[in-house]
Structure 1
Amino acid sequence: MYSDIEDQGTVGDHQFAAPPNPNPPRWCKCGRCGDMGTGRARENVCCQQDQCVTTEEYLRAKCLDHNVLTLTIRLHADYMSERSNYRANGYRKAAYRQYILGRYGYLGKGTRRIASSFVVRCVRHWFPAPDGRYMGYKSA
């Protein structure tokens, strides 16, 4: 049934990408964020909690697992009447979508939130752009 998708398995054995930051920026309260390096201050986001609200277990299970993201991509493509995108950028978008949905719930059309820099760094580590260039946050 899923023969068109290469099974990549899960991320359970993958080394976690963003451990606590020994020198977090001033805007980071949880100690796991880092400057996004884009020059756009709005992308430097922290959960603003003493202990990061984004656990590694949650990211692994809901936002980085290949099988979960494959289904997320299929569902989104079906809902939007688009073709499924199984390239790295499709998996990154699905991972961000999963994180935002889990953190904030359904937002409604045109409503967006920025994922914390910790989450963005992890997702980019697992699903890197071949050329190292990323879109960044785009408002609605």
Structure 2
Amino acid sequence: MVDATEGDEPPSGGNPAPNESSNWCKCGRCRDMPTEVENKCCRFGNLKCITQTDAFVDLCLNSNILGVNMRIREDELAEEEDRTNANYRHYAYRNYVYWRFGRLGKGQRIVIPSCCVLSVRGRFPAADSIYTGFIPGENLPA
């Protein structure tokens, strides 16, 4: 069962209107997150938001690409992943990290910019609107 919306185009929701963004946001598409550490913007300066790039849309919002990534991981782990919005979000965040930083290594985690998280959540929403948020890795300070 796939509960992601079909097609490659992300919905217009998920990002606040530019006048709703926070004072720490430079791209105009972030909003305050539950913890201070999650209040991170993709850009510094008046540049295009990363969520508006073709690469972000293709790698992080395209359910076909994310499905292929799940299939690759299934082959490695020899177990099947459910095609749920929670798993699509997980793989979208994995793709973002690999794209921007490469492999981080065990226990290493980074904060994904608010605008990116909101865009992914808008594309693959939780039915109850409850999300986990950032969990520090074992090798990082809280």
TM range (shorter): 0.7 to 0.9
Cα distance per residue 1:56-80 (max 9 Å; x no partner)? 2222211110110001122223334
Which amino acid in the other structure matches residue 50 of structure 2?
T
Corresponding position: 1:122 with 2:122: no
TM, length-normalised to structure 2: 0.80
> Corresponding residue for 1:41?
36
Corresponding position: 1:64 with 2:61: yes
> Corresponding residue for 2:50?
54
Unaligned runs of 5+ in 2: 138-142
- Counting only pairs closer than 5 Å after superposition, residues 67-106 of structure 1 correspond to structure 2 as 67-106=64-103
Selected match of 1:107 from 99, 104, 109: 104
SS in 1 for 2:50: coil
**Equivalent-residue separation in structure 2 for 1:63 and 1:83 (angstroms):** 20
> Corresponding residue for 1:138?
135
Q: 2:40–2:114: 8 Å Cα contact kept in structure 1?
A: yes
Check 1:8–1:30 CA distance in 2 against 1; reply closer, same or farther (3 A cut). closer
Q: 2:11–2:122: 8 Å Cα contact kept in structure 1?
A: no
Check 1:78–1:139 CA distance in 2 against 1; reply closer, same or farther (3 A cut). farther
**Equivalent-residue separation in structure 1 for 2:67 and 2:136 (angstroms):** 25
> Corresponding residue for 2:28?
31
**Equivalent-residue separation in structure 2 for 1:131 and 1:45 (angstroms):** 24
**Equivalent-residue separation in structure 2 for 1:100 and 1:34 (angstroms):** 20
Q: Report percent identity of matched pairs.
A: 33
Superposed displacement of residue 88, structure 1:
0.8
Which amino acid in the other structure matches residue 31 of structure 1?
G
Check 1:92–1:13 CA distance in 2 against 1; reply closer, same or farther (3 A cut). closer
Aligned residues: 135
Superposed displacement of residue 114, structure 1:
1.1
TM, length-normalised to structure 1: 0.81
Q: Which of structures 1 and 2 has the larger relative contact order (alpha carbons within 8 angstroms, sep 6+)?
A: 2
My pick for the range that moved more, 72-81 or 14-23, is 14-23
Unaligned runs of 5+ in 1: none
Selected match of 1:15 from 5, 12, 23: 12
Cα distance per residue 1:26-82 (max 9 Å; x no partner)? 22222221112x2x1111111242114514222221111011000112222333444
